[in-house]
Each structure stands twice: as structure tokens, then as C-alpha cells.
Amino acid sequence: MNGEDPQERPELIKNIINGLERYNPEAAGTLESYLQEQCDQKFCDASANRALLKLYQLNPDRINNEAITNTLVKCMTLFPSPQFDLALHLLSPAIANPSAANAGSSTSELAEAVAKLRALNAQLEGAQYARFWATMDSDDLYADLTTDIAGFEEMIRVRIAQLVSQAFREVNLSVLEAWLGINDEAEARKYVTEACGWKVDADGVVQIPRNPENEAKKAEIREYVNVDMFSRVIRRAWEAAA
Amino acid sequence: MSAFQNGAPPVRAIDDDSDVEEEALVADYREQVQFEDGMEELEPVTSLTMAQQTDDIQSRLAAAAQPLDFSAPLEVKFQSYDSYCSLFHFILNSEGPVDLEPPSYYWAWDVIDEFIYQFNSFSSYRARIARQANNEEEIQVLRDNPNTWGCYSVLNVLYSLIQRSQITEQLAAMKRNEDPMAVAGEYGSKSLYRMLGYFSIIGLLRVHTLLGDFSLALKTLDDIELNKKAMFARVMAAHFTTYYYVGFSYMMMRRYADAIRMFSHILVYVSRTKNFQKNAQYDSITKKNDQMYALIAICVAFHPTRLDDTIHTALREKYGDQLLKLQRGGPESLPIFEELFRTACPKFISPVPPDFDHPEANVDPIEHHLSIFMDEVKTNMFNPTLKSYLRLYTTMDLNKLAGFLEVDSEELRSWLLVNKQRSKQLRWSDQALLEGDLVNVSDIDYALQGDLIHISEAKVGRKLVDWYLRNLARTYA
């Protein structure tokens, strides 16, 4: 899985998450600074971050709000993937799913932030990219929540471009503009040609090079037969004869 | 499994629904049951010798494997916790390994199973008392004893049993075809420790799933090989439990093909052994059996696939109506997903004591996990409709299709992207459970050229081997 076990993971972290140290509340500090490192250096170790969330789950007094939201934002950059959900499952229900009775008056700041990130993630998972950028612009809180993650918008943009290239052979520049959250035709053209290396023709249609994903080749699924599947029949025939 | 997988391309090999594996297991199990039948005649003798050495510890061992009454009062639940603690303390912290033989080959499983069951039901009970907030007396007792049946102590017991028995090292040696006894150490060479250690690994799988840590749950089984030689296969309930939790964790990680494979394997096995199942074990299995059919229905809705004939028939019998609605998708399918998930999921728990001061703040963990799961259901709910239209064309105009579906074209682009992205799934092929290859699992593929959709459907050739083998067996058996 994407971002599950990155090469960047240092020995120290390996020892924590693969051993009993992952249950030691003191390990939270180390995992938190490792998370910070991931935020600064644009890689993601979802497995180590879940070990941190697990420590919070077992020791709620240790909870660090920022580490939780940063973990979720990191997971979000891996879309589409189950990583964000796997992280949510480890949060206490009071944070991830505050009850209706409790909503409004006493919802914590953290619960509110998690709810916002969850809605944002749903838009990425649902491939509603134009809506995602609109949501990002709708409230300053989103900027606050993603500010610790270096290159957040850029990572999302690259990922969207990747996913588009897996489904499209040609796409209108105007569609891409909205999806990439670039509200300027000249800039969008620049991004598409320079960052993605795609060509834009005279009618404003972006040409995406062929790749195995956007070919949609006809496939035939055949049954695979080998001798071993018949071993029992053959043995029985042999035994019956003998 | 490896024997007939050699040489086959990995992806196809998994797809292969030949049932050699289940057949071998069934044969094994039949032998074992018959063996026990033979043993019964000898029993008077055995129990006589047992009687001579009956002492306190033997009765404690037996008691630890006894199910606690569901309605047992709080006091009894506390006592039960204490006696587990002292028993495990005795086993783990005596000077040197304790010289005891487990009362039976399934005793160790029963103990770990009951231990976790009681932990699970205690946590659920405590949360319910906190939510209801009308039993002051019990609330006070629970408040005063936050560490009774605490998550850390349960994990501690399981991990300690695993470490003491060196079971991880033993299993690794077995994987390399070496003698496990060479690395078993003083404790692990005794069957009491080896069995407790082994079943503690499966216990951990269960506890991690109950806490919502699905990837860690699967990682826990890294050392255990899921095949007929697995030690757990000898104990029906252990075998069954393992596949339920592994399958469930796969489902929560969106690995539906793997989940279906797990559930199908064990359900086929159960359906073939039920004729010579004679003990009470089988009754307890019936409920989980139905739960797994419900989970298969959910997985098939996400990932339409051909099921084993036996499974398919039983699924239609048990959940025919629901399955139809799930497969149709759309907002009408959502309540069915919720209903099936609630009946079939494990009884999730929270690892920490509830907030007794704010009863309304305690959300049932089942609702928590369900709500996250439903996010993914909602993202995917239009896939069936979309696919049913795409199947009809080889090329199609996006705006025209949007008209048929009564959505705007931007919305339809999102649907197309979602469906395309979900057609790739991580699928296991002979590595650790968490590993897998990203493969295309859909029979329909498409690409967009501007607003023109090019569609290609994979032709699935008929699968004859299974049919042929079945009929051969029927004719010549």
C-alpha cells in the first residue's frame, strides 16, 4: 500500500513499531518528531503514524491535537487509499464521531477539525476535485490545518494529475484547470506542459500520452489448468486399477 | 496450497477456485474426529489416572476454559479477572516452567478464547452502564476499578505468553523447515506454553480487530501460515475464528477479493464438515457462519465476482433480498449495508474506561466504525448503476450518458474516476497477509478521450475444471 512502509523509515522507528516499545507511552515523543520529519520532508509513513494514534488511543492523556490532524492530512495526500479511514478508526469515537446529543455546544476543537478533514477527504476519495479546492478556499481553518505539511497543495495536485492520466487520453484544459485548482488558463497551461509534460493543442485539448491504464485494452480471462488440479482423480484411478 | 500454485502466474493462482485445499482439510478433520471416537473407549482409564493427580491447579486450568454465564453479576466478572491474573501469573512467573500437561489439545484455545471473550463483554458492559447512567452502584464500582479487565493487562498477558513460549521463533524455524524444538527454549518446548503462545497470537489478531486496528491485526499473523498444516486447523473454533477476523480486517482495508477468499474458504470447510460435527462447538459456529455470509454479501457488492457454488446458493438463501439491493447500489442500498454490517461485525470496544460524568458523550464503538465504513460505501454507491450502463456500449458520449443517468457531466466524470480507481485492488499472493500485488479486479475497463468514453469488457472464458472434477467425483465416488 502506498506510503505504508517507506524506505525512509529509520532503524529507531522500526524497532519501536515492530516491538513492544510501540505500547510504551514514552515512545509517543519519538513518533511525534518522526511525524514532523515526514511533514517537512514530504514522505509518509502511515504505519508508524498509526502506532502513534494507537498510543493516544490507549493513553488519552497523551493526546496531541496537532499530531492527530497532521497524521490525517498526511493520509489524505495518499488518496485514493484506505489510509485515512484506517487512521480514523483509531481515534476515539468522541473525536471522530461525537454523538448527536453532544454536538454543537460542547464539541471540542479537535472534533471539529477532524470532521472538516473528513469531509475534505471524502471529496478527494469521491474524485470531486473542483469541489475540493472550493472547500479549501471556503474557510481559513483549512489553511491552518494543512500549514504544517510542506507542499500539501502541490502533492494533491500531482496526485490528481496522476489519476487523470490513468483515465484520460484527452481532456479539456478547462476541466483540468478546475480539478487542479488553478484558476488561470495561462498558469494551468504552464503547469500541464511543464510539470506534467503533456501537450496542449490549438483547441485547448490536453493530450495525455498512452499508458497501460488509459488504453482500456480488451482482455480475455482464461481458466488456468495444470496437472496438479487433477492429482486426486489420477491417484484414485491408479489406486482403483491396482 | 503451494504445491499446486507452483508455476502458475500468481494472480491467476488466487483466482483459481479449485477446492483441493478444503478437501484435504476435511479429510484431516474427519480423521481427527474418528480418532477421538476411538479414544472414548479408553476414557475411564484416563480419568482414573487423572483423578489420582487431581489437585487444585488442574481444577483451575479447567475452570479457566469454562464459559462465564452471560448474566453473571459484576462481582463474578471481577473475580474471574482475578483468577485469570493469578493463573497466568503462576504460569508465567513461577520459577522455571510449570510442569503441567494441558487437560486437552483444545484447552489452550478455550482459555485464550474465553479470556478475550470476557474482556470483550466486560468492556461492552461497562460502556453500556456508562451510557445508561442509571445504575449508581455499579458505576461507582466501575469507577473505583478502572484497571480491572484493562486493555494493557490483556495485551500484556497475550504478549507475555508469546514471548515466554518463543512461539514466534518456533514458527519461523518451521517455515524454514527446521526443527522448532531447537529454538523453543526451556518454556516453549513444553506443550502447555507452546499452545498458549500459539493461540495468543490468534488472540492478538482478535483484540486488535476489536480495537479497530485492522492492519496491525493482519500483521500479527505474519508468522502463522494459513494452510492445512497450521496448528489452529486442529481446533475447529480456532480455525473458524481466525478466518473470520482475517476476512473482516481485509474488508476494512478495502481488500474485498482477499476477504471473500477468506470467508469462502472457511464456509466451504464448515459446510463439508457439518455432517460429522457432533459436539457443541458446532452450535456456536452457526451464528458466526451467518455473519460471514452477511460480510460476503457486502464484499460482493463492492467487488462483484463469481463465488463457489455452495457459497452462492447459501448466500441467496440467507440474504437473497439484501444482496439484490446491495448490488443495485444507490441511496436505497445504504440502510442494507448498515444493517448487515451491524449484524456481522465484531463487538467493537473502546480500550479506555468510558466517561461516566458525561453519559451522552460515550458513542458506541460499533457506530463509530460503521460510520467510517459507510463513508467508503457512499463514495462507491453509484458504481453498480454506472457499470450496468457501460456494459451496453463500446463507445459512449459523456453528456449523453449523463442525460440517461440524470446527473450533470461533471458529476459523471467523478463517478467514472471513482469506479476506475476502485477497479484496482491490493491482492494477496503467497506473501505475508498485509502484502499483495495491485491488480485490476474489474471485468470492465474504459478510458476517456475528451467526452468520448471508450469501453472494453473482459471476456471471461468458461471455467470448466471445477465442474469437471465435481462431476467425476459424483459419478465415480
Q: Render pLDDT for B98-112 as a digit per residue (tens, 0 to 9).
A: 888 888 888 999 999
- pLDDT at residue B279, as a whole number: 61
pLDDT at B8 over 50: no
> What's the gap in Å between the CA of A225 and the closest CA on chain B?
7
Long-range contacts of B1-6 (CB under 8 A, 24+ apart): B1/B227, B2/B227, B2/B430, B3/A228, B4/A226, B4/A228, B4/A229, B4/A231, B5/B430, B6/A228
B473 to chain A: nearest residue by CA?
A: A233
For residues A178 and A117, state if they share a domain: no
- pLDDT at residue A102, as a whole number: 54
What DSSP designation does B55 have? -
Chain A CB within 8 Å of residue B343 CB: no
- pLDDT at residue B34, as a whole number: 52
User: What value does the mean pLDDT take over residues A130-140?
Assistant: 94
For residues A104 and A25, state if they share a domain: yes
pLDDT at A51 over 70: yes
A48 to chain B: nearest residue by CA?
A: B216
Report for A28-42, A89-103, A105-119, B43-57: range of highest mean pLDDT: A28-42
pLDDT at B425 over 70: yes
- pLDDT at residue B223, as a whole number: 84
Chain A CB within 8 Å of residue B358 CB: yes
pLDDT higher at B19 or B235: B235
Provide the grid cell at B278: 457432533
Which 3 state secondary structure label does DSSP give B178? coil
- pLDDT at residue B69, as a whole number: 78
Where does the pLDDT of residue B20 fall: very low under 50, low under 70, confident under 90, or very high at 90 and above?
Answer: low
User: What value does the mean pLDDT take over residues A157-165?
Assistant: 95
User: Could you give the CA distance from residue A22 to residue A35 in angstroms, rounded to a whole number?
Assistant: 15
Tell me the one-letter amino acid at A8: E
Per-domain residue ranges of chain B? 26-33+72-234, 254-351+362-380, 382-476
Burial label, B185 (beta-carbon count in 10 A; 0-12, 13-18, 19+): middle
Q: For residue range B301-326, what is the model confidence (pLDDT) as tens digits?
A: 999 988 988 899 999 999 999 999 99
Chain A CB within 8 Å of residue B306 CB: no
The pLDDT > 70 percentage for chain B reads 86
CATH classification of the domain holding A199: 1.25.40.990
Domain containing residue A161: 151-242
- pLDDT at residue A58, as a whole number: 94
- Give the closest of B7, B360, B373 to A102, CB-based: B360
User: What value does the mean pLDDT take over residues A194-200?
Assistant: 92
Q: What is the dihedral of CA A150, A154, A159, A163, to 10 degrees?
A: 170
- Of A58, A91, A126, the last residue of a domain is A126
Cβ neighbour number for residue A123 with a 10 Å cutoff: 20
Pick left, alpha or beta for residue A154 (phi over 0 → left; psi -120 to 50 → alpha; otherwise beta): alpha
Interstrand relation of A205-207 and A168-172 (parallel, antiparallel or unpaired): antiparallel
Chain A CB within 8 Å of residue B16 CB: yes
pLDDT at A104 over 60: no
User: What value does the mean pLDDT take over residues B317-344?
Assistant: 95
CB contact under 8 A, B213 and A220: no
Cβ neighbour number for residue A43 with a 10 Å cutoff: 14
Q: Which helix or strand (DSSP H or E) is residue B278 part of?
A: none
Chain A CB within 8 Å of residue B193 CB: no
B375 to chain A: nearest residue by CA?
A: A122
User: What value does the mean pLDDT take over residues B184-194?
Assistant: 90
Structural domains in chain A (count): 2
Q: For residue range B257-305, what is the model confidence (pLDDT) as tens digits?
A: 999 999 999 998 888 877 666 565 666 678 889 999 999 999 999 999 8
Provide the grid cell at B105: 489439545
- pLDDT at residue B13, as a whole number: 36
pLDDT at B217 over 50: yes
Spell out which residues of chain B touch residue A60, defining contact as CB-CB under 8 Å: 352
- pLDDT at residue A36, as a whole number: 96
Chain A CB within 8 Å of residue B475 CB: no
- pLDDT at residue B184, as a whole number: 87
- Give the closest of B352, B367, B461 to A222, CB-based: B461
pLDDT higher at B7 or B458: B458
Where does the pLDDT of residue A242 fall: very low under 50, low under 70, confident under 90, or very high at 90 and above?
Answer: low
Residue A142 covered by a domain: no
Where does the pLDDT of residue B12 fall: very low under 50, low under 70, confident under 90, or very high at 90 and above?
Answer: very low
Report residue B357: phi and psi, to 5°: -80, -25
- pLDDT at residue A107, as a whole number: 61
CATH classification of the domain holding A118: 1.25.40.250
For residues A64 and A101, state if they share a domain: yes
> Which of A90, A99, A220 best probes binding to B when mutated, by most B CB atoms within 10 angstroms?
A99
CB contact under 8 A, A223 and B476: no
- pLDDT at residue B280, as a whole number: 58
Spell out which residues of chain B touch residue A233, defining contact as CB-CB under 8 Å: 469, 472-473
CB contact under 8 A, B3 and A228: yes
> What's the gap in Å between the CA of B281 and the closest CA on chain A?
30
Provide the grid cell at B198: 500459539
- pLDDT at residue B31, as a whole number: 59
Q: How many CA atoms lie within 13 A of B458 on its CB side?
A: 15
- pLDDT at residue A183, as a whole number: 87
pLDDT at B51 over 60: no
Q: What is the dihedral of CA A147, A160, B329, A75, to 10 degrees?
A: -40
Q: For residue range B71-86, what is the model confidence (pLDDT) as tens digits?
A: 788 899 999 999 999 9
A90 to chain B: nearest residue by CA?
A: B212
CB contact under 8 A, A58 and B351: yes
CB contact under 8 A, A92 and B476: no
User: Could you give the CA distance from residue B417 to residue B165 in angstroms, rounded to a whole number?
Assistant: 50
CB contact under 8 A, A224 and B450: no
pLDDT at B165 over 80: yes
> What's the gap in Å between the CA of A85 and the closest CA on chain B?
6
Provide the grid cell at B141: 464500582
Which 3 state secondary structure label does DSSP give B424? strand
User: Could you give the CA distance from residue A21 to residue B120 in angstroms, rounded to a whole number?
Assistant: 24
- pLDDT at residue B477, as a whole number: 57
Which 3 state secondary structure label does DSSP give B11? helix
pLDDT at B10 over 60: no
Where does the pLDDT of residue B40 fall: very low under 50, low under 70, confident under 90, or very high at 90 and above?
Answer: very low
Q: What average pLDDT does chain B have?
A: 84
User: What value does the mean pLDDT take over residues A112-127?
Assistant: 95
Spell out which residues of chain B touch residue A106, defining contact as CB-CB under 8 Å: 361
pLDDT higher at B20 or B265: B265
Interface size, chain A vs chain B, as Cβ–Cβ contacts under 8 Å: 187
Spell out which residues of chain A touch residue B446, defining contact as CB-CB under 8 Å: 216
Spell out which residues of chain B touch residue A170, defining contact as CB-CB under 8 Å: 448-450
Report residue A2: phi and psi, to 5°: -55, 125
What DSSP designation does B114 have? H
Provide the grid cell at B300: 460482493
User: What value does the mean pLDDT take over residues B435-445?
Assistant: 86
> Which of B345, B375, B382 best probes binding to A when mutated, by most A CB atoms within 10 angstroms?
B375
For residues A108 and A9, state if they share a domain: yes
User: What value does the mean pLDDT take over residues B342-356?
Assistant: 94
Which of B208, B250, B196 lies closest to B226, judged by CA? B250
For residues A155 and A122, state if they share a domain: no
Spell out which residues of chain A touch residue B365, defining contact as CB-CB under 8 Å: 93
pLDDT at B33 over 80: no
Spell out which residues of chain A touch residue B375, defining contact as CB-CB under 8 Å: 85, 118, 122, 125
Chain A CB within 8 Å of residue B372 CB: yes
For residues A96 and A159, state if they share a domain: no
- pLDDT at residue B152, as a whole number: 93
Cβ neighbour number for residue B349 with a 10 Å cutoff: 22
> What's the gap in Å between the CA of B146 and the closest CA on chain A?
13
For residues A119 and A19, state if they share a domain: yes
User: What value does the mean pLDDT take over residues B35-51?
Assistant: 40
- pLDDT at residue B55, as a whole number: 61
DSSP3 helix / strand / coil % (chain B, rounded to 5): 70, 5, 25
As for the ipTM of the complex, it is 0.90
Where does the pLDDT of residue A68 fall: very low under 50, low under 70, confident under 90, or very high at 90 and above?
Answer: very high
pLDDT at B397 over 60: yes
The pLDDT > 70 percentage for chain A reads 95
Which 3 state secondary structure label does DSSP give A200? strand
CB contact under 8 A, A167 and B448: yes
Q: For residue range B411-422, what is the model confidence (pLDDT) as tens digits?
A: 999 999 999 999
Which of B334, B340, B416, B420 lies closest to B375, judged by CA? B334
Report for A110-119, B31-40, B433-442: range of highest mean pLDDT: A110-119
